[in-house]
A and B are shown apart, each in its own frame.
Chain A
């Protein structure tokens, strides 16, 4: 099994279970034990995950990927010590970010629901072919990525959260906007597009939106 086998689903399951930090250790880049260079795929996935965490208001420092060889025990110890220290400083997941338990659950659940879609985004739009950490990091800090992210991920995350909220009870645009910290106009845009797809409907009687 390779670092490339580590899935967003695994990382998110850990966070959802109340784990405050996730560390992924992989072989050194360009020293793949297989021929697949799966550690580069892991790097791409982790950077995307961090981007989404950041977008959701979760501290991306809670996820860390490091590459090292089995002969570098001291490096492993050093990195893990530092990571544990960092995570302790960040405090419990959610609490450290000032997000309440329900809010945290909602965010992680919405993120988890998007995993199949994110795989599609990864293979269709984010299939990167760099050969260094620097190039990956640079790309993930670039305007192109920001553009791609807002085009492909931002709305989907918002809608995913709205759907989860509506699963519990019908809500008004204003209520949703408040719960998700979005502007009412953004929320109504998402609701309109979701209504067109037949996912939500407006309940005249309650003056609220509900799942279709």
Chain B
């Protein structure tokens, strides 16, 4: 589809949107509100420019063409035609995403019929500041604030009869609903929120706490019940829901609004995908992937990223994106860098001794600024300000010809400071800094005055005041520009080698992917052999022979010429920083000092040793890992058992460990199915709190239930009890007692074996690793990534990455995914020759430093340390580690530490310029 906009010319000023006469249901806002035929898709769109959709009058009836007339940059092209292009590539990544389930396919929800029944996607937009009601929660029928809202979980997911819907669990809905509840309560503290649910699946990192937080909010109720949407009140349009609880039986309740927590469907055009790309799909319509590589499709060279593999949360999607990237890298490493071109800038002119010669360029931004703020007047005004030697207006400062004009003027007028009065620095500061470099001026001599977002856009009805404010903003920038200093960005060489700590599946997969891209990898394992926890696992739910896979992987690692394995190894010291680490390792090879550019932490996790349920006292009580080992070894005690009880959530989801171990439900069901296969007559009971077989594993849950594995729910405050007893036949058994909530009485089960779903807990040496590599832990003791959603395989410490269950419990295929993801992130560093460090970092004036250590104490980057200098012990900043937040500046007792580019002098000069009379004094002082 053509965009009908010339991308090179459109600046995203949106004047055309304003004049467009066509109102059309806004696709991005779920068609709740209206947009125009020409519009920007949404406020974070990339590129942030307009497109014209099929509702355009010209495209439909050859009428109108107003947008063409109002666009001052000639960016509209209504005659654009779709073009066919042939691009030669070596690998293809498919990232088509997913489609929210459409509840209209099942009339039971009355979606589209009852005005106040909406989907969670609709509600998501309603909650959003850029949504249809600008962030106000309103209901469609009367645009009033709903005060009583119900959420219905599993809409379109986990269906026994999947006709039109899906059998799998959509994985994300439990937690997104909780987020919506929290946001609803933020908007309206008195809102009553009720969530009708099946199992609550808070299996993600930190999700259990999030669940608890939601549940503990006043006016929030979680009700475990199937529901039906009964009726709509013809007058109030309130919606009645019928549900049942074990205490009260069947009830009906009226709500102001009902949100359907819809699941995730495959992309709409999934069938075309197969035809077009020749890849296979699974039974659900998502992509069929390699069981040990969720990013690899059935066709070589085709990878996928994101939810096309099946329902996936944001962090996992981001991980697969890096992972797919890494695998393309493996394939195409021989061509790396072939298409890149180096920019060459003219040599920088040293102007530090010259008097400031400031140039001010005021942008009209089409009509965005110009029709509110009198731009020529601001230009005149700028020329009256101290040290401003040149000022001019520009239609669009960001257009290529305008940037060239700035470069030319710098040269012609001998400017050594440049101010562009236009929009937010967030979008264009980098561009204009580059403009200065093109003119041979240090880029930190650039200053941006935001007279669009901060002025014309917010004061469209007060032109006079807006003009004065624009002058204020420019004057403040001029004041600051006087004090700007040239700053150097340091280029550091990158050591091309990687260190991977931990030789389990995560560490080995990651090491191989990095090595396949031509980098040497040192793989350090504390044990005497590679393999990690997975050595104890025999198969997966999907039926993978784990040991065979592991043998293959270990073989590849040992044979790879670029991977150096150190077993029986201990890391004794870790020093250095991004691109230049030095780590000392004591191993079978003796003492080695390894120099490397990137570090990957893949140190795995341990299994909780239960102290409950007679574990350790009676050898019929065992963990699932032990059960699996005995089962595969053909232990008679297990094979000949008549009854097995499995107890879930042992050692987690409690006060001590308030997290879900994520894998145990699938693990228990896997063992249950395996046991049933060996002995179909065996009675199996799984005692659970919530069954958390997210994603496709839901199908195995159903299979187990179908094979008569009995699932009995218990609650944390009434845990099952176990005693050794004799049954009617005089056999010594383990008697399990627990309440049955459905029947409302005590249940007794006699078992021959009890299998405990013991928690996954942080590995024993986690603390040492934390201290050595200066990385963080979350409250549960697992490693803490830099950002839970956006940077899931990186640490805040730059150049250090993580993967595997050291991050959080996860399934084997998820571990492999993350291992590729970490490799991908490590490669973005290792594939560069240099890393560039910003010039805007902190610096200590040693003469002023009193060595109090306040700056060191507050710096979470460990960027400041005491060093012996000629003036004694002083705080010194490591420019590579400093991130330029400047917190230390406000802790320093003597003003010795200053954040460059945001020094007190620079900031105070701006504050002084707020009130014009003060400015002149301050500026005269500055110039003198």
Contact residues of A with B, CB < 8 Å?
1-2, 4-10, 13-14, 17-19, 33-38, 41, 45, 70-75, 77, 116, 119-120, 122-123
| Given A71-B43, A71-B130, residue A36 in contact with residue B887 (CB < 8 A) | yes
CB neighbours (8 Å) of A1 from chain B are: 840, 884-886, 899, 902
A70 contact from B426, B786, B890, B892, Cβ within 8 A = B426
A-B residue pairs, 3 tightest by C-beta: A5-B886, A4-B887, A2-B885
CB of A5 to closest CB in B, whole Å: 3
CB neighbours (8 Å) of A75 from chain B are: 129, 135
Q: Provide a sorted-by-A list of 25 A–B residue pairs whose CB atoms are within 8 angstroms.
A: A1-B840, A1-B899, A5-B885, A5-B890, A7-B889, A9-B908, A13-B908, A13-B911, A17-B912, A17-B914, A17-B915, A35-B776, A35-B796, A36-B858, A36-B859, A36-B860, A36-B861, A36-B887, A37-B860, A38-B887, A70-B426, A71-B44, A71-B130, A74-B135, A119-B891
CB of A42 to closest CB in B, whole Å: 9
CB of A79 to closest CB in B, whole Å: 13
**Extra contacts besides A41-B858, A73-B129, A116-B894 (20): CB < 8 Å:** A1-B902, A2-B887, A4-B890, A5-B885, A5-B886, A5-B889, A9-B904, A13-B911, A17-B914, A17-B918, A19-B914, A34-B883, A35-B786, A36-B859, A36-B887, A41-B887, A70-B426, A74-B134, A119-B890, A122-B891
| Given A10-B911, A13-B908, A36-B858, residue A45 in contact with residue B918 (CB < 8 A) | no
CB neighbours (8 Å) of B891 from chain A are: 119, 122-123
Q: Which label, helix, strand, loop or mixed, suits the secondary structure of the B interface? A: loop
- Pairwise interchain contact B908-A10, C-beta atoms closer than 8 A: yes
- Pairwise interchain contact A6-B890, C-beta atoms closer than 8 A: yes
Residue in B129, B130, B914 with the greatest tally of chain A CB atoms within 10 Å: B129
CB neighbours (8 Å) of A36 from chain B are: 858-861, 885, 887
CB neighbours (8 Å) of B854 from chain A are: 119, 123
Q: Mark B111-145, 1 if CB is under 8 A from A, else 0.
A: 00000000000000000111000110000000000
CB neighbours (8 Å) of B899 from chain A are: 1, 5
Q: Report the contact-size class of chain B (Cβ under 8 Å from the partner).
A: 35 or more
Give the complex CA separation of A8 and B914 in angstroms: 17
Interface assignment of B724: CB less than 8 Å from any CB of chain A: no
CB neighbours (8 Å) of A116 from chain B are: 893-894
| Given A17-B912, A36-B859, residue A71 in contact with residue B129 (CB < 8 A) | yes
CB of B388 to closest CB in A, whole Å: 22
Give the complex CA separation of A14 and B909 in angstroms: 11
CB neighbours (8 Å) of B575 from chain A are: none
Give the complex CA separation of A203 and B902 in angstroms: 46
B884, closest chain A residue (CB):
A1
Give the complex CA separation of A34 and B796 in angstroms: 8
Give the complex CA separation of A36 and B858 in angstroms: 7
Give the complex CA separation of A14 and B912 in angstroms: 7
- Pairwise interchain contact B129-A72, C-beta atoms closer than 8 A: yes
A14 contact from B859, B889, B890, B914, Cβ within 8 A = B914
Give the complex CA separation of A5 and B858 in angstroms: 12
- Pairwise interchain contact B908-A2, C-beta atoms closer than 8 A: no
- Pairwise interchain contact A7-B458, C-beta atoms closer than 8 A: no
CB of A104 to closest CB in B, whole Å: 15
Interface assignment of B268: CB less than 8 Å from any CB of chain A: no
Give the complex CA separation of A202 and B28 in angstroms: 77
CB neighbours (8 Å) of B912 from chain A are: 13, 17
Interface assignment of B926: CB less than 8 Å from any CB of chain A: no
CB neighbours (8 Å) of A45 from chain B are: 890
Interface assignment of B594: CB less than 8 Å from any CB of chain A: no
